[in-house]
Amino acid sequence: MTASPSDAPAGGTPASPPASRARAGASNEATTHAEPPAPPLRIAVMGAGAVGCYFGALLARAGHAVTLIGRPAHVEAIRANGLRLQTATLDEQVPMAADTDPAAVRGADVVMFCVKSTDTEDAARQIQPHLAPGALVLTLQNGVDNDERVRGVLGNSHPVAAAVVYVATEMAGPGHVRHHGRGELVIAPSPRSATVALQFSAAGIAAEISDNVRGALWAKLVLNCAYNAISAIAQQPYGRLVQTPGVADVIADVVAECLAVAEADGIQIPGDVGAAVTRIAASMPGQMSSTAQDLARGKPSEIDHLNGYVVERGKAVGVATPVNRALWVLVKVVEVTSGLAWMSHLESFAIQ
């Protein structure tokens, strides 16, 4: 399928969730099989990378009918043995359906939309003809405008709601998801959001509904902009980065530009973003950003939807963003060189 799944650990945990408007559940890891409070949902995960597989596994353990839609290697492994879910407290194979065809969203009550931001419109077009009437498309992606972009494809025929994701996960191999921490969602209001939040809560996923999801998405965007590009360029984890002279000052400049753009754009960002930025390096010192992992694999990153998005919005609202621009351009340069290096590696491997 043309839409790439989001497989970075940094679907990751950048910021603390905002104060809840309506909270459903407090546990973020399922250690027992919870009974749904209502009839089970039919759930499709479009772009089943680390984020989608982790949440999909918890929902399947709770009795929901989950179909993972992803890459062939993952699908084959899941069909053969189930999805291996590995956390600090459990390691088990979770049986569930898996497919490579976007048409597998057919009949789903909820589509968890987890593709890379670069693939949003293409993936939305792929699932559009197969969506059941009234199916909720829940976007769980980096960036702040994916729900609007999905809505631009689907129109008013289906409800679309953004969700802010706070989780650290990785794909440890085909059909194998490893959880490193947290696991909360902040969901925008929609006709089905309350039901989804309750059902997800019963599955061990802390979920809340907020009328300021846009602000929460921006809070996460700021943290991604602060760390992702620098981690990618240096190929270093957060803890080591901030020990390098000058890096903390660059991060502070990135954050200041992001906040200035948000304010000029009328975005109300909840919480203390500066404190959240500082906490990340301390709480996740060994974490490599999703952008760093993409570049290490020779894959295109989501940088256009992170620092690049801030540059774009800065132009629109008249705010200069020179530090974000520099990081965005540097990552684009590294994308080209790392992609060429990766292709050369594959050719060499094939010859051997």
Query: Nearest-CA neighbor of 218 among 167, 270, 181?
Result: 270
As a whole number of angstroms, the distance between CA 335 and CA 90 comes to 36
- DSSP code, position 46: E
List the beta strands (DSSP E) in the chain.
22-24, 42-46, 65-69, 83-86, 91-94, 97-99, 110-113, 136-139, 160-173, 176-187, 206-209
Whether 299 is a known active-site residue: answer no
As a whole number of angstroms, the distance between CA 164 and CA 17 comes to 8
CB 121 within 8 A of CB 149: yes
The DSSP-derived string for 92-151 is: EEE--EEES-GGGGTT-SEEEE-B-GGGHHHHHHHHGGGPPTT-EEEE--SSS-HHHHHH
φ/ψ (deg, to 5) at 171: -85, 115
Residues 6+ apart with CB under 8 A from 131: 105, 106, 108, 111, 137, 154, 157, 158
CB 131 within 8 A of CB 105: yes
What torsion, rounded to 10 degrees, do the Cα atoms 250, 251, 252, 254 define? Answer: 90
| b/e map 159-179, b = 16+ CB within 10 Å | bbbbbbbbbbbbbeebbbbbb
CB 205 within 8 A of CB 28: yes
The catalytic site residues sit at 220
